[in-house]
Structure formats: C-alpha cells, structure tokens
Amino acid sequence: MPPIEKVYEAWSAIADGRVCIEPGSTAAEGKAEVESSSHEKTYTVAWRDGGKLFYSDDNATYWRGYPGYPVIAVMMLEGLLPYDAKAAVRYSGIDWTEANLRHRHDYAEALREAEADRAISHEEMEGKAREVVDALARSGIAVTRKRKPFGL
C-alpha cells in the first residue's frame, strides 16, 4: 500500500485539473495522462482487467511497486475509490514535487507543512484519506511495470 500522503497528492491532481482521461475509457479499461504538481512531467496511466491491473510510469508505481498518486487519482475519477471534492480542493495548487524534495521525501513532513500553511486540520482530513487507503486495500488491484499488455 502507498503512504497515505499519496491520497492528498491525488486530491491535488484532480482539484488542479491535471488528470486527463482518454475518451472512451471506462472503469474497466482505459488510459489517462496525469501532470505532475510542478508541471514538469506527465505520467501515463493505463488499466485493464476490469480495473484490477494498472500501469503507470510515475516513480512510486514503476519503481516502488505501489499505486502512486496518478493511479489513485484515476481510480477516484473512475469511481473505483471514494473521492471527496471538498477535501480535494483544500489541497489544490500545492507543488508536492518541490515540497517532497525540500523534505527529502519525508511525505508526512511535506503534508504537515502544507496543512500548516493553509490552516487545514490534519485530524479531520486524515479520516477522509484513510477511507481511500482502506478502499484501495480492499480493491484487490495490482500494478505492473510492463507497458506491452496495455499497448503503450
């Protein structure tokens, strides 16, 4: 499972309009592009097998083997994970790339700083993020580093 902080990054991506799902995509199969919070990279996300197998070239999914924020964001938009628009908008405009680098990839510290800057109650939002992580754990999805099964 991903660190819970990846849920907040997914919320940001959706709230900022950085997730573009390809026309014709469904919860069962499709493709999307997700722009990084720094706007320097664009990640490809693809899924199939009824929304049970995901590929993404973001670092977390590709190298660490857990669903990164691009996968989580797509799953939210496709109705495979709960999505709270009111929570998401509170994290819009955060440059997670820069924050995570500044905090040496201590995602929890980057999140604490962002919430402190915006006077967001961590306790209130953590419950909403935990719901997403719990649903992700129950989803039974798998991630792969292989592009070919997706025609990429």
Per residue in 22-77, pLDDT tens?
Answer: 999 999 999 999 999 999 999 999 999 999 999 999 999 999 999 999 999 999 99
Query: What's 91's DSSP letter?
Result: T
pLDDT at 149: 80
Nearest C-alpha neighbor of 129 from the set 24, 40, 20, 4? 4
Nearest C-alpha neighbor of 72 from the set 147, 139, 126, 125? 139
The SS3 call for residue 135 is: helix
In this predicted structure, the answer to whether residue 150 has a pLDDT above a threshold of 90 is no
CA 88/CA 15 separation, integer angstroms: 6
pLDDT at 148: 83
Here the contacts of 37-45 (C-beta below 8 Å, separation 24 or greater) are: 37/9, 37/12, 37/13, 37/94, 37/95, 37/96, 37/97, 37/98, 38/95, 38/97, 38/98, 40/97, 43/68, 43/70, 44/152, 45/70, 45/71, 45/74
pLDDT band per the 50, 70, 90 thresholds, residue 104:
very high
Q: Model confidence over 112-131: pLDDT tens digits?
A: 999 999 999 999 999 999 99
pLDDT at 151: 81
The structure's pTM equals 0.96
pLDDT at 147: 87
Domain ranges of the chain: 5-145
pLDDT at 27: 96
Q: Model confidence over 64-97: pLDDT tens digits?
A: 999 999 999 999 999 999 999 999 999 999 999 9
